[in-house]
Amino acid sequence: MGDAGRFERYEQGQGSLLPAFASDALDASYPAFFIDDVVDSLDLKRFEERYSAAGEHAYSPRLLLKLWLYAATQGVYSGREIARRLRRDLGFRYLAGDGAQPDFRTINRIRVRHREDFVWVLRATVDLTRRSGMAKLGVVAVDGTKLRANTSRHKAMSYGRMRKEEQRLEAEVQETLRRLEDVNKREDDEHGSDGDGGGGLPAELQSRAERLAKIRTLREQLEQERGAKVEDRHQKSFADPEAQMMQASDGALVCAYNAQPAVSEDGLIVATGLTTAVRDTEHLLPMVDAVKENTSEEIGTVLADNGYLTEANLEALAPRKQRGLIAVGRLYGKRKTQGERQFAEVKHAMGFRRFMLRVKAKVRGEWDLVSAAFNLRRLQAMTLAPA
C-alpha cells in the first residue's frame, strides 16, 4: 500500500496465541496478585458459616471478597461494573480463576450478607501491617469526613413540609373515605347490603394512605432524633432515612454519614467508626477503644482536631492515662497531614466519594471494606517502595 517501508506490519485478521493463564500477561507487581495472596492467607470460616450446605452451590466467598477488595483499590464500587470487568479486565479475570462469571446480583449480595464480617477483614489488614512492622501507634490521628449517602436532597423532605403534607393527605384520605361511605350507602339503599364492607380500599385511597404513613414515620423519626430542637428546616430522606443532612467539604448540604478513621503514624487505618451525628465530639473515646480492640495495644498519643474538643472528652481521657492532643497551630499541620491524607487517597485516588448501600448497618460494613482495601493498597505501595 506504499507504507510498507515506513511502518510495522498491521493485520487485524491475523491470529495470535494468547497466554494460557491471565497471570502470564500481568506484571509481577500487579495489585491483583497482592490481593490474592492476602485473602488466601485469611481464615474465612466466619464467612463460610453463613452459607447452607443444602441447595445449589454458591460462589466461594473467598472469590467474591477478592473481587471487592481489588475493585475498591481500582476505584470500582458497582457490582454491575465488576461483572463487566470479569469479561475484559485481566486482573479481575485472574482473581476469578477458571472462568467464573458471577452475575452482578451475586457480586452485590456479599456486601449485605457479610456486612458484619468486614470489620474482621479490616482487623486482619491491621494485623498484617503490624506484623510487617507498620501501623505504629505512637501517635494516632482521629478525624471524620462526611461521605454522601446513596440518596439526594430531591428525595428528602423538610420537617415543616412533612407536617403540611401530613395535614393535606389526612384531609384527602378522610374526604375520600367520606365519599366512599356515601357511595356505599346509596348502593346499599338501592341494591341491599352485600356485607363485605365495600370490597377493599380503592387504589387512589391506598396510595395516599401509604404516602401518609411514610411521611408520618419519617416525621416521628426526626422528632425522636432532634427532640425539642427540631426545626422546620431539618430534613430527612425517604430513600435512606438514617442518613443525615450534613455540610460536605465543598460547602454543599447533602444527605451523608460521618465516617471516622483512626490513622497510624505511617498512614494506615487502624480502626473505623461510622455515625449519623454531624459533630465529631462524641466519637473520640469510641475511636480510642476501637484502636485497642483492633490492635490489643494502647495508643501513645491520640491526636484530633478541635471538633473533638469538649471538657467531657478531656476529663474522660484523664483516668485512662491516655495522652490526648487537640490540634492547633503547628500541631494542626501534623494532624492535617496524618489525619486527612487518607481522605484524599480514598476520595480521589480510590474514587470513593459516596456510599452505594443504604441504612447505617450496611453502610458501616461498606466503610470497613473500603478501609481494608485502602490498607492493602497502601501496604503494597510501602512494600514496593525502594528502601
The answer to whether position 369 is within a domain reads no
Helical packing angle, 104-113 and 61-73, nearest 10°? 90
DSSP-derived 3-state class of residue 141: strand
Residue 380 lies in a domain: no
| Cβ-Cβ contacts under 8 Å for 100 (sequence gap 6 or more) | 59, 63, 86
The whole-number pLDDT of residue 192 equals 60
Look at the block and give the residue holding cell 473500603: 370
- Whether residue 145 is found in the same domain as residue 277: yes
Q: Are residues 215 and 292 in the same domain?
A: no
Q: What are phi and psi of 50, to 5 degrees?
A: -85, 0
Residue recorded with cell 471538633: 307
Q: How far apart are the first and last CA of the chain?
A: 53
Shared-domain flag, residues 51 and 72: yes
Domain count, the chain: 3
Question: Do 253 and 344 belong to one domain?
Answer: yes
Domain that holds residue 78: 22-113
Residue 303 near residue 334 (C-beta atoms within 8 A): yes
pLDDT of 25 reads: 76
Q: Which three cell numbers stand for residue 367?
A: 466503610
Which of 330, 331, 266, 321 shows the shortest CA–CA distance to 299?
321
Look up residue 102 and give its amino acid: P
**pLDDT tens readout for residues 127-173:** 999 998 999 999 999 999 999 999 987 788 888 998 998 889 888 88
Q: Are 93 and 86 in contact (CB under 8 A)?
A: yes
Same domain assignment for residues 225 and 248: no
If asked whether residues 255 and 205 sit together in one domain, one would say: no
- Do 202 and 252 share a domain, yes or no? no
> Are residues 188 and 286 both part of a single domain?
no
Per the structure block, which three cell numbers stand in for 98?
Answer: 477458571
pLDDT at 378 over 90: yes
Q: Are 4 and 94 contacting, i.e. CB atoms less than 8 angstroms apart? A: no
| pLDDT band with cut points at 50, 70 and 90 for residue 328 | low
User: Would you say how long the chain is, in residues?
Assistant: 387
The answer to whether the beta carbons of residues 26 and 92 sit under 8 Å apart is no
pLDDT at 172: 84
**Predicted confidence (pLDDT) per residue in 246-280, tens digit:** 988 778 888 999 999 999 999 999 999 999 998 89
